Amino acid sequence: MPKKSYKGKSTIGVKNLVFAPLTKDDETGYTYGDLVKAEGTIEVTITPQNTDLDVQYADDVEYDVIAQDPEIEVSVDMASLPVQLQAEIHGHEYKDGVMVEKAGDTPSYYAMGFKAEKTDGSYRFVWLLKCRAKPGTETYRTKEGRDITRQTNNATFTAIKRTFDGKVRAVADESDEDFTGSANFLDTVYGGSSSADSGEGE
């Protein structure tokens, strides 16, 4: 008989999407700015990229396998992506309620967190610790009589490892008896801030 068993529950929702700017990430430490909440989340899709294993053959058999560090693509569908938030995550100018894009604008790095409800009423919590936005797709469509098609906004990010410690993602299930931080898990980026002198933040 197995010494331990795991009972999983499917997810049925997603909400509480938050962002926090990564203001520093180098060999000496990392810090994050204030959280920004984005309401109207419809779907979050997380897809690892570059996941092919490097297989070495020797003695006429598969001798060794090397797993590469994958990049993670994150696609977020929103009921609407406010102009000010677009400006922040894409690095555009925002003044007097107007976003202006110009050549050379560079998206900043952000952490992204959210929670997904499960069928037993508990939540899975996710933090992606270093993400950069790609240009988003926008669709505007005319009304056709009484037929109205809702248009949504999509934002796509690439999540990579932090320079300081190589960490990419933090995931926790509220139903896990070892996890005790569900009450405030999305209040700050997981791990807080850290420096080489003080050790990693909690």
Over residues 54-97, the pLDDT tens digits come to 787 888 877 787 777 778 999 999 998 889 999 999 999 999 99
> What is the radius of gyration, based on Cα positions, of the chain?
20
The torsion angles phi and psi of 111, rounded to 5 degrees, stand at -90, 150
Task: Indicate the pLDDT class of residue 200, thresholds 50, 70 and 90.
Answer: low
**What's the pLDDT at 83?**
92
Q: Looking at the DSSP assignment, which residues form a beta bridge with residue 166?
A: none
98-131 confidence digits (pLDDT tens): 999 999 999 999 999 999 999 999 999 999 999 9
Per-residue pLDDT band at 199 (split at 50, 70, 90)? low
Q: Bigger pLDDT: 146 or 28? A: 28
Report which of residues 197 and 80 the model is more confident about. 80
Q: For the chain, give every domain's residue range.
A: 15-188
Cβ-defined contacts of 135-138 (< 8 Å, 24+): 135/90, 136/81, 136/86, 136/90
pLDDT at 138 over 60: yes
Sequence-separated contacts (24+) of 66-71 with Cβ below 8 Å = 69/161, 71/158, 71/159, 71/160
- What is the band of 198 on the pLDDT scale with cuts at 50, 70, 90? low
Determine contact, residues 201/194, Cβ cutoff 8 Å.
Answer: yes
Mode of pairing for the β-strands spanning 54-58 and 93-95: unpaired
Residues 6+ apart with CB under 8 A from 149: 141
**Residues whose CB is less than 8 angstroms from the CB of residue 61 and which lie 6 or more positions away in sequence, other chains included:** none
Element at 58 (helix H, strand E): strand 54-58
Residue 158, CA distances (Å) to 130, 180, 189 in order: 8, 29, 17
Strands 109-117 and 15-26 turn out to be antiparallel
DSSP one-letter string for 5-25: ------B---EEEEEEEEEEE
Question: Which regions of 50-168 does DSSP assign to beta strands (E)?
Answer: 54-58, 61-66, 71-78, 93-95, 98-100, 109-117, 123-134, 153-159
- Residue whose entry in the numeric block shows the structure tokens 């950069």: 132
pLDDT tens-digit map of 157-196? 999 999 999 999 999 999 998 898 888 999 999 988 887 7
Average pLDDT, rounded, for the chain:
88
